[in-house]
Structure 1
Amino acid sequence: DCLTSPHGGFYMTRDVFGSSGDFVTSPEISQLFGEMVGVWCVHTWLSLGRPPRLLLVELGPGRGTLMADLLRGTAAFREFSASLELHLVEISPALRAVQWAALRCTNNSSSSGGSDSSGRGIHTFDRTQVSWHTSLDAVPDGPAPALYIAHEFFDALPVHQFVRDPKRGWLEKMVDVRTGLRMVLSPGPTPASALLVPRRLGGLAPGSAGELGALEVSAVGMAVAEKLAQRIVRHGGAALVVDYGREEPPYGDSLMAIRGHRGVGILDAPGSADLSAWVDFGALKLAPPSPAAVAPPAASVTTSGPVSQSSFLRALGIEMRLQWLMRGATDPGAAESLAAGCARLLGSTESGGMGESYKVMAIHRGDLRDLAGF
């Protein structure tokens, strides 16, 4: 609710991205990021057999920069562009309006603009139809295959935090509101701890679970991953997840609040700061489709990765693309900006880069092999 409540949620009334906002994401740093995601989409579409219709779905599109760069960068692949039907999952009216402008949308006959619950438009660059939805459940489920992009989406989903007590077992961190806002521990196990702790610990290597004294689990994140897997089983396609995080070991307490590019207390003025948690990719890999949704074994869901963002982008040819752009740059300042942006996308955490702390994972059917970047 601190992020998405219509009554003062952080994302609901303003543009929070970019240098003038509260944080900066990869698409805002360099056009190369969106272009490389576009390369991945085209390669995956080819691996799917060039379907004449393809749903391209982005979860939490931010300012729309990634999608705008992707569409521009793939425009030369006319057959791919002609197959696209674009769906953006965005709950914030303010960000929908920003995305509408970034994609240079115009109204179609059934459109009421990009800031209501069912906005539709036409992307003016290649006439791709664009639809907005408030949830993944509202996005058409087939019959065409779909590519799902979740860039810095899972980190914004809520988490449960648990602490192991030698006598009382796994206790849940909760917010006490009686004397101001403060974190407290539940007096005993909660329904969430009874459900989530065994599931997450069950995915760890033998012996490592007993070493943990704290555990953080995003039940919503695991549910979204399961929904994506179910859709992919039924209709084909793949999901690309890009976020800061790791596979193992699971986190104990990574929840943080950011306001104006600075860390603040997570209970400091709720709704005025971005809340996020590092993504537990190991938990996302534990979210297969339910048995009722499973198709023939060859079409069962699997994952590729996670790999580092640096490894993923390099495998897709980001350095070659950078050199091509720099050769064509007539402004020395533009060339320097391109090089600096690429360096930050690929760089180590110690150098202020995102290349190692950000990971990339794909969810796809077992019969879709050799995904680009992995």
Structure 2
Amino acid sequence: MSSLTFSKITHCLVGRNGLRLLIHGRSYCTKLKENKIMKGLMNKIKATGPLTVADYMREVLTSPSEGYYMTRDVFGQEGDFITSPEISQMFGEMIGIWFVDEWMKNKSPSPVQLVELGPGRGTLADDILRVFKNFQEINESVSLHMVEISPALAQIQIEKLTGENLTSEQSSKLTDGYNSGLSDLETNDSSEKISKHYYQCKTKYGINAYWYKLLHDVPQEHSLYLAHEFFDALPICKFQKTADKGWCEICIVPGSTPNTTGYLRHIKPGDKREHIEVAPYSGMIILQIAERIKQNGGCALIADYGHNGDKTDTLRSFKQHRLHDVLCDPGTADLTADVDFSFFRHLCLSTKSISSFGPVTQREFLQNMGIHLRLKMLMQGKDQATKKTLISGFDMITNPEKMGDRFKFFTMLQKKDYDDPPSGFNNLSFQIPVR
């Protein structure tokens, strides 16, 4: 299959304002700062030729020594972007209520796992566990399982969930566990260790929590899966439709690629887009979650930037809360691409065992879950400064001109005999009394 040179289609990736390349050891980025990742990318291109956009993203974001997510806290005002859980506690509380509702609908199975992919600072999990604390049955049945590839972020999450800074001994335990990739458990064959959690602790709510590098390592149990702003950071492949060769994969340098046929199978013949992004790694995780739900029960809730199969070029970079050149200073800025929820829906349909609903906007989901009622409850008896903060956070995460319509919610459930959407994906049929 054919591929395109980055130089011919740079406008598809980073805009039309100038040529910015990583090719044959040269860059035309005016803000270039050479670093280890830059050197590694140039050496790889020289040695093996074509570098796909997916390969570029994976190296820039998760390279063990210099990857963007691997060594720093990238969230909040001091980082490069801020997320809904950091803005308002109500965001996590509504998600917590959603999980409790789905768990109860499934006859409250025990034990149950809350599994979060890419847990950020741990704020969202902390808010959800605080909700669970108000429901004795789930609080006594649940364990927390965090899938986190960054040891730096894992430490931040641990400290958030325990309410304590790690001691030097605990920090060493985290580092050693992460580097070994092995748990203390062994199989019956004493010479063979199994890959499992790399850290374990008890949260301030008394719930056992575990950290893993891969979803594959999380135990097979009835699970509540959560992915908030996770899939948008996974590598994507980019394809451009050409007049002479049809669909071609965009690469950093010329070369052939086998991805074109396989990755575009879900694209309908009548699709009029000239540029398409496909996330194969996201697809593999969606299928893995689907199989786990099929085998063990549970549900998944996904919240992210996204569209319904109609957008084209969405890859972009953020640094210090501003748009940044995708190819400049790799490893120092976030890379993100909108999630194609139509791709997720296609994968769920292909399993014949999983129902999916959505996407709906974040505003719709939160309103359907009764966030406005929660706001009224929180404001009772509060001073003016606290009320102002609560209202500001509410506005930021629900206003359609801010985060309200920018983010979408999508859910995966075991296939049922009925097609009614779950809570959050339709309007509330009752009003929750304000206490």
TM-score band w.r.t. shorter chain: 0.7 to 0.9
Tell me the secondary structure at the aligned position of residue 422 of structure 2.
Answer: coil
**C-alpha distance in 1 between matches for 2:128 and 2:381:** 20
Q: Give unpaired runs (5+ residues) of structure 2.
A: 1-58, 179-197, 426-435
Assess if the C-alpha contact under 8 Å between 1:34 and 1:69 holds in 2. yes
- Residues 334 and 358 of structure 1: is their aligned pair in 2 closer, same or farther, counting only changes over 3 Å? same
Residue 154 of structure 1 corresponds to which residue in structure 2? 231
TM-score by length of 1: 0.87
Letter in 2 for 1:321: R
Within the candidate set 397, 408, 412, 1:363 is matched to: 412
More off after superposition, 165-174 vs 152-161: 165-174
- 1:321 equivalenced with 2:321 (yes/no): no
- 1:196 equivalenced with 2:257 (yes/no): no
- 1:69 equivalenced with 2:127 (yes/no): yes
**If you compute each CA radius of gyration, which structure gives the higher value, 1 or 2?**
2
Cα root mean square deviation, aligned: 2.0
Residue 93 of structure 1 corresponds to which residue in structure 2? 151
- 1:308 equivalenced with 2:357 (yes/no): no
**C-alpha distance in 2 between matches for 1:78 and 1:111:** 32
Residue 289 of structure 2 corresponds to which residue in structure 1? 228
**C-alpha distance in 2 between matches for 1:290 and 1:253:** 26
**C-alpha distance in 2 between matches for 1:154 and 1:113:** 29
Displaced runs of 4 or more, over 4 A? 110-115
**C-alpha distance in 1 between matches for 2:99 and 2:280:** 28
Residue 183 of structure 1 corresponds to which residue in structure 2? none
Matches within 5 A, 1:76-115: 76-104=134-162, 113-114=173-174
Deviation at 1:104, TM superposition (A): 1.1
- 1:262 equivalenced with 2:315 (yes/no): no
Assess if the C-alpha contact under 8 Å between 2:357 and 2:421 holds in 1. no
Residue 287 of structure 1 corresponds to which residue in structure 2? 347
- 1:8 equivalenced with 2:66 (yes/no): yes
Residue 207 of structure 2 corresponds to which residue in structure 1? 128
TM-score by length of 2: 0.75
1:13-67 Cα offsets, whole Å, 9 max, x none, are 1100011111000101100001111000100110110112101100000000001
Residue correspondences, number: 341
Within the candidate set 211, 214, 219, 1:140 is matched to: 219
Deviation at 1:290, TM superposition (A): 7.0
- Residues 97 and 17 of structure 1: is their aligned pair in 2 closer, same or farther, counting only changes over 3 Å? same
Letter in 2 for 1:231: R
Deviation at 1:105, TM superposition (A): 6.3
1:345-368 Cα offsets, whole Å, 9 max, x none, are 11113xxx1111111010111128
Deviation at 1:124, TM superposition (A): 2.0
**C-alpha distance in 2 between matches for 1:66 and 1:233:** 26
**C-alpha distance in 2 between matches for 1:318 and 1:67:** 18
Select the structure that is richer in strand: 1
**C-alpha distance in 1 between matches for 2:379 and 2:132:** 19
Residue 12 of structure 2 corresponds to which residue in structure 1? none
Letter in 2 for 1:200: H
**C-alpha distance in 2 between matches for 1:112 and 1:69:** 27
**C-alpha distance in 1 between matches for 2:325 and 2:158:** 33
**C-alpha distance in 2 between matches for 1:97 and 1:336:** 32
Assess if the C-alpha contact under 8 Å between 1:40 and 1:372 holds in 2. yes
Deviation at 1:370, TM superposition (A): 4.7
1:161-188 Cα offsets, whole Å, 9 max, x none, are 0111111111111124xxxxxxxxx466
**C-alpha distance in 2 between matches for 1:80 and 1:269:** 46
**C-alpha distance in 2 between matches for 1:334 and 1:234:** 46
Residue 35 of structure 1 corresponds to which residue in structure 2? 93
Residue 385 of structure 2 corresponds to which residue in structure 1? 333
**C-alpha distance in 2 between matches for 1:105 and 1:133:** 20
Tell me the secondary structure at the aligned position of residue 409 of structure 2.
Answer: strand
1:261-296 Cα offsets, whole Å, 9 max, x none, are 1111111011000000011101111213876xx7xx
**C-alpha distance in 1 between matches for 2:153 and 2:325:** 25
Tell me the secondary structure at the aligned position of residue 201 of structure 1.
Answer: coil
**C-alpha distance in 2 between matches for 1:167 and 1:362:** 40
Higher RCO (CA-CA < 8 Å; seq separation 6+): 2
Letter in 2 for 1:171: C
**C-alpha distance in 1 between matches for 2:350 and 2:406:** 31
